[in-house]
Amino acid sequence: MKEALNHSITKLNAENNATFYFKIDIVHRATSQVVNGFKYFIEFTARETTCSKQRHEELSESCEIKKHGASLRCTFDVYYPVGEKNRIDSTFECQSPGKKQLRPCVYKGRPREAGTQPTSKSEAS
């Protein structure tokens, strides 16, 4: 599992264009399955660290999590096929917690024509 977690955070940092590296903070769920190799499903929260990609070649143990840095909630599927020692297949998806998909606003009425009369209380509600 440790190797799958290391692969996950390395891939996340390689494929996002954030200025700072992310580090796994909390593992919410992790399962493994033997299927002609090993398949891991991992769900974790990664947090932004103090190590910038510009100044550091890679994420290291000395990179501390920023107290008020960005966070990502990620799910990874990591697959190590049997007999292919150097091959790892993985897919992932990450979202910023608290940033929810907004529903489109649809106006379901007909606007009144502009006039000098104030809107009644029932029409305003």
Q: What is the pLDDT of residues 55-102, one digit of tens each?
A: 999 999 899 999 999 999 999 999 999 888 788 999 999 998 765 544
**CATH value at residue 68:** 3.10.450.10
Q: Is residue 83 part of a domain?
A: yes
Q: Is residue 18 part of a domain?
A: yes
Q: Is residue 123 part of a domain?
A: no
Q: Which of 54, 31, 51 is nearest to 41 (CA)?
A: 31
pTM score of the predicted model:
0.72
Q: Is residue 36 part of a domain?
A: yes
Q: Is residue 14 part of a domain?
A: yes
Q: Is residue 107 part of a domain?
A: no
- Residue 23, Cβ neighbours under 10 Å: how many? 22
Whole-angstrom distance between the N-terminal and C-terminal Cα of the chain? Answer: 56
Q: Is residue 109 part of a domain?
A: no
Residue-number span of the structural domain to which 20 is assigned: 2-95
